Structure 1
């Protein structure tokens, strides 16, 4: 029988190959415009030429005196800070989308705290992933 430590070590390579929740969020919600590499050259980037091109998300920290702008990134993702090329506030405000997803899963009424926690956890996972992409 394997000890807990040995079992953990045996499972580690499998977990290392898995995509993080934040990376999955990024790939499904952001990469179409910002690109898989987050440098602003996703397949839909050229469609945004009227409102500006998507920024290079790997430079957020460098463009903020070496400090990752956590609060601003949070506000952009949850929709509190308007971003010109994101278009009207209805699209794409990921905080609203995540909240709607929670509603679709039945998180209403007494589960409103669960709905808020679900929304916040998805935003935080995405921000965590973005922080790992900084150059």
Structure 2
């Protein structure tokens, strides 16, 4: 019985490690290129080819943390991307990408210390945006 109890924490830790795999920046970059660059530009500065046709200019995504006191607001960014809490931000021109970013779930800490089931593509995109902050 003791041998079984000794293995239980190790097995639980191994299973948990598989659930909290950090997001991958290259995957996030590819998602950005596919879904965001047309408006936000390849450098994420709000100067994409579609930006001129929008009523409200897209923001510079490299300055999200700077606009928030030096802190990258992961949960807020992910909610804006997927459209979960958005009402009519950006003049209604920002599409909701939640359905496009569905995928395998990972347990992700968006900054509140809780591991929340999150679609991996959404976490990957948020991780990429966090990685380009200036």
Tell me which interval the TM-score lies in, with the shorter structure as reference length: 0.5 to 0.7
Higher strand share: 2
1:86 offset after TM fit, Å?
Answer: 4.7
Query: How many corresponding residue pairs?
Result: 97
Aligned to 1:57: 61
CA displacement 1:68-104 (0-9 Å, x = unmatched): 01111010111113223453xxx721112233xx5xx
Alpha carbons 1:53, 1:85 under 8 Å: kept = no
Alpha carbons 2:83, 2:96 under 8 Å: kept = yes
Taking the aligned partners of 1:61 and 1:122, their CA distance within structure 2 comes to 21
When the two structures are superposed, what TM-score results if normalisation uses the length of structure 1? 0.65
Alpha carbons 1:45, 1:53 under 8 Å: kept = yes
Q: Structure 2 stretches of 5 or more lacking a match?
A: 1-24, 107-117
Aligned to 2:100: 97
Aligned to 1:69: 73
Aligned to 1:125: 124
Q: Does residue 24 of structure 1 match 2:30?
A: yes
Q: Does residue 46 of structure 1 match 2:49?
A: no
1:41 offset after TM fit, Å?
Answer: 0.2
Higher helix share: 1
Taking the aligned partners of 1:28 and 1:132, their CA distance within structure 2 comes to 17
1:45 offset after TM fit, Å?
Answer: 0.2
CA displacement 1:50-82 (0-9 Å, x = unmatched): 2x1000000000000000011110101111132
